[in-house]
């Protein structure tokens, strides 16, 4: 029984990505398809690594962090160091996103305040 394989167009369709995006992950060493002539052939390992890369992207991780985490997944199965590292990355990313959220809330508050000032000034101009 042969292992399942996918073409670039099949992965593109499944993950709703462009072939260019998949090649981008290849260029950065996340995917390493076999070749049959000029045709790329992706195996289950490539599909899993792509799925993990997309999860990392959704979490807002940098490509270097994504690659490190994926490479750890491929490494020895001693999960305690892997989980500790992943937890550290997630904690750092959470703090970053919480700070960005706070910054956005402050910016939105300032915009609302400035809009109110503008509306008050415009109303005063229209009445006078």
Residue ranges of alpha helices (H) inside the chain are 8-15, 19-27, 44-58, 63-74, 79-127
* Global pTM value: 0.74
- Asked if residue 35 belongs to a domain, the reply is yes
DSSP H or E run through 41: strand 39-43
Please give the backbone phi and psi of residue 42, each rounded to the nearest 5 degrees, phi first.
-100, 135
Contact indicator for 28, 68 with CB cutoff of 8 Å: no
pLDDT the model gives residue 95 = 97
Q: Could you tell me the maximum CA-CA distance found in the chain, to the nearest angstrom? A: 85
Question: Total domain count for the chain?
Answer: 2
Per residue in 97-125, pLDDT (tens digit) is: 999 999 999 999 999 999 999 999 999 98
CATH code: domain of residue 11:
1.10.1660.10
> Is there a single domain that holds both residue 91 and residue 113?
yes
CA dihedral for 7, 8, 10, 14, sign (positive or negative): positive
Range of the domain at 109: 76-128
């Amino acid at each position: 029984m042969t292992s399942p394989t996918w073409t670039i167009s099949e992965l593109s369709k499944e993950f709703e990505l462009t072939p260019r995006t998949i090649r981008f992950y290849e260029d950065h060493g996340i995917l390493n398809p076999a070749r049959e002539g000029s045709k790329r052939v992706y195996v289950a390992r490539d599909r899993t690594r792509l799925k993990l890369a997309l999860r990392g992207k959704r979490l807002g991780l940098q490509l270097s962090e994504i690659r490190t985490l994926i490479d750890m997944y491929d490494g020895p199965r001693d999960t305690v160091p892997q989980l500790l590292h992943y937890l550290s990355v997630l904690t750092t990313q959470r703090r970053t996103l919480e700070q960005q959220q706070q910054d956005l809330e402050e910016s939105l508050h300032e915009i609302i305040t400035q809009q109110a000032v503008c509306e008050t000034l415009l109303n005063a101009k229209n009445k006078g």
